[in-house]
Structure 1
Amino acid sequence: MELKSEQALMASWSGQTQPVLSIICLAYNHAGFIRKTLEGFLEQETDFPFEIIVHDDASSDTTPLIIAEYAARYPTVIKPIYQAQNQYTLGVPFSTRLFAQARGRYIAYCEGDDYWTDSRKLQIQVDFLENNRDYVMTYHDAFMFDSKRILRPIHLTGKYRRDASAKELMQGRPISTLTVCFRNVIHELPPELHGVEVLDICWWSLLGAHGKGKFIEAIRPAAYRVHEGGIFSMRTSQQRIRMSLHAYYSLARYYQRIGNKALYDYFLVQVFSHCLALISPANKLQALFTIGQNIAINLFKRISPATSRS
């Protein structure tokens, strides 16, 4: 499919200039993938303006050159940001900072190694959010693939193939990040969440304070690429558990500070379960026994009558 020119793309926006939606795209050494990603954005058929903010995190390959090529063809639509020093290694939560720079009242997110397959995706999602103020975000399905084959044709299964309540969002409900479209209401992260690598869990939790989530099955699944440079997908299971554990611990600290005991307790349980998952089966029973023993001792001390001194 041949891409429209910028003029043809903007003609469908009926003279509107202020972006209704901002696409946020983070790229790092994605030279082999970024063209497919950008073209998936530019193929979107909408009756509203959108902007594309592409953040290159000091790539060492030709990713910045490819971004610059498309930015030159679509200077009004594509807004590139080029870093001289890699922000990820510095622990800077730059993806969330981009939300504050976005001019759209909605955010759609897709990293530079993934891509969208449905040209009506954004129109469907924005139409829903415009007409349903009690929802803060929409999402759909994705499939997982590598250079050889499709690894998982459906990413969301069972209870996750449905809407999410505000409470479920606040509990960090799993959602395919490359499929989301949400209201632009997160402009900065609480200090407790700085340094968290699995930021999407934190985004959903913060968004849950503003409404519910809508699963839209009618949108074709997006494409989630697994490759050697993937930040999360190529980590070992132990590493992924540790990354998620850190996110849950950070959220527990945040909700403790703001006085939300229910969510503080919920995320502490998640921390506990993830800690158990890191312990080898041989040591897990011993760990549970030790925890139970300590609880029993503390409980006995509380209920035992104080002995008088002679």
Structure 2
Amino acid sequence: MKDQNSIILNWKGNPEQPLVSILCDAFNHENFIREAIEGFLSQETNFPFEIIIHDDASTDKTASIIKEFAAQYPLIIKPVLQTINQYSQKINFWSDVTFPKAKGKYIALCEGDDYWIDPLKLQKQVGFLESNDEYVITWTDFFTKKGDELVPNDFKNSLPEIYAIDFDNIFEPYCTFTLTSVFRKSAVDPLDYKKFVYGKDNTLYALALCNGKGAFMNFQSSVYRWHPGGIYSLQKPFIQRYSSYLNIKEIYDNIPQSRTKNIERIMKRLLKASAFEALKSVNDKTLDNTKQKDAIKEYIDQASLSAKVKFFIRSVKSKIFR
């Protein structure tokens, strides 16, 4: 790993005025955070960047590892170490904690259990944004790591070198993953983000796209780690689908620019998937199935007659009406 001086040697500009702020949130990532930080530090850029790492009161050695790196790279790494878990207090790491501390013109995001593998990732994405004023956010291709296996996407063959993204095609295909995103800080107001009850990364993207286009840059820069300890991985399929539906619906309801045929199709697809997943647990007496029932009712209210019949047949098999 390069030392601090060798990293700064390639920079043009004052390290105290970084062009990019890398925001990283971590919780109980002691097995992963070292690889994430090393991926940040391996970036070869001709501009200064800072790394703001937020540890949400981890109960393992995550904070100690962050402190170790911060001591070695004090001009680059800015730790934010919590003593009380913020997630449990429903405090959003991004809008409430790390974004307000960012000094950069651009923001790059990566969770503490994911990591970057291309040392030119930031240089390529920032270079593109600096040369194309009409774009406000970029993403790249990535691998998914399952165990020891790196699984590629099919984007390399199915998408062009630069794939322009707006509300007419976002999520088709779903290539906008957080760990690869770099966006203009000026494109998103964190106060706007906080207004969303079901806010996710998709909300951030939607707010950014109100101010310009997005670009998927077709090179593999990062690794998305799929593991049992991941917050999203732990959720049941119904919760995954329904929370995504509520998130997209909230975007549609509150951002007029998002009211496209594309977003409408995605909402319908997510609601249908939620309703059918709800059938699998709606009769479980040990659970509070309020959300499952809400999803089923909303789907039935919106579905066509033929779709209602198919759903009724499936629901009878699930004994939902007994």
TM-score (norm 1): 0.81
Partner of residue 276, structure 2: 280
The Cα shift of 1:140 comes to 0.9
Deviation at 1:49, TM superposition (A): 0.3
Could you tell me how far 1:90 is from its partner in structure 2?
2.0
Coordinate RMSD, CA, aligned: 3.1
1:172–1:202 CA contact under 8 A, matched in 2: no
CA contact (8 A) 1:28 1:58 kept: yes
State the structure with more CA Rg: 1
Deviations 1:92-140 (A, max 9, x none): 2221332232100001111100110010111111111111100111211
Aligned to 1:253: 253
Distance 1:23 1:281 in 2: 37
Distance in 2 of aligned mates of 1:290 and 1:125: 41
Partner of 2:2: 4
1:260-271 mapped onto 2 (5 Å cutoff): 260=256, 263=259, 270-271=266-267
2:238, 2:160 → 1: CA distance? Answer: 23
Distance in 1 (CA, whole Å) between partners of 2:117 and 2:65 is: 21
- Measured against aligned partners, the alpha-carbon deviations of 1:200-224 in whole angstroms (never above 9, x if no partner) come to 111111110111122222x333111
**Alpha-carbon distance in 2 for matches of 1:107, 1:290:** 39
Aligned-residue sequence identity (percent) comes to 36
- In the TM superposition, residue 187 of structure 1 has moved relative to its aligned partner by 3.1
Say if 1:40 and 1:116, in contact at 8 Å, map to a contact too.
Answer: yes
Q: Which residue is 2:124 aligned to? A: 124
DSSP-derived class of the 2:6 partner: helix
Q: Quote how far apart the aligned CAs of 1:16 are.
A: 2.4
Q: Are residues 1:89 and 2:88 paired? A: yes
Q: 2:26: which partner in 1?
A: 27
Does the 8 A contact of 2:121 with 2:221 survive in 1? no
| Match of residue 164 from structure 2 | 164
Cα distance in 2, alignment partners of residues 48 and 282 from structure 1: 49
Q: Which residue of 2 aligns with 1:205?
A: 206
Is 1:223 the counterpart of 2:219? The answer is no
Comparing 169-178 and 76-85, the one that deviates more: 169-178
Corresponding residue for 1:300? none
Higher share of residues assigned strand: 2
CA drift at 1:190: 3.0
Question: Where does 1:43-122 land on structure 2 (aligned, <5 Å)?
Answer: 43-97=42-96, 98-122=98-122
Aligned counterparts of 1:114 and 1:80: Cα–Cα separation in 2: 18
Shift of 1:86: 1.5
**1:25-69 Cα distance to aligned partner (Å, 9 max, x none):** 010000000000000000101110000000001111110000000
Matches within 5 A, 1:228-243: 228-243=228-243
Task: Give the paired residue count.
Answer: 284
SS at match of 1:205: helix
Cα 1:245–1:193 change in 2 (3 A) is: farther
Whole-Å separation in 2 of the counterparts to 1:26 and 1:155 = 28
Aligned to 1:13: 11
Q: 1 CA distance for matches of 2:244 and 2:271?
A: 10
Could you tell me which amino acid in structure 1 is paired with residue 79 of structure 2?
A: P
Per-residue deviation, 1:233: 3.1
Is contact 1:99-1:187 (8 Å) kept? no
Match of residue 189 from structure 2: 187
d(CA) in 1 for partners of 2:260, 2:54: 33
CA distance in 2: counterparts of 1:245 and 1:282, whole angstroms? 13
Once the two structures are superposed, residues 248-287 of structure 1 have per-residue CA deviations (whole angstroms, 9 ceiling, x without a partner) of 23223323xxxx2862887566444323222239988xx6
Task: For residue 164 of structure 1, give the secondary structure of its aligned residue in structure 2.
Answer: strand
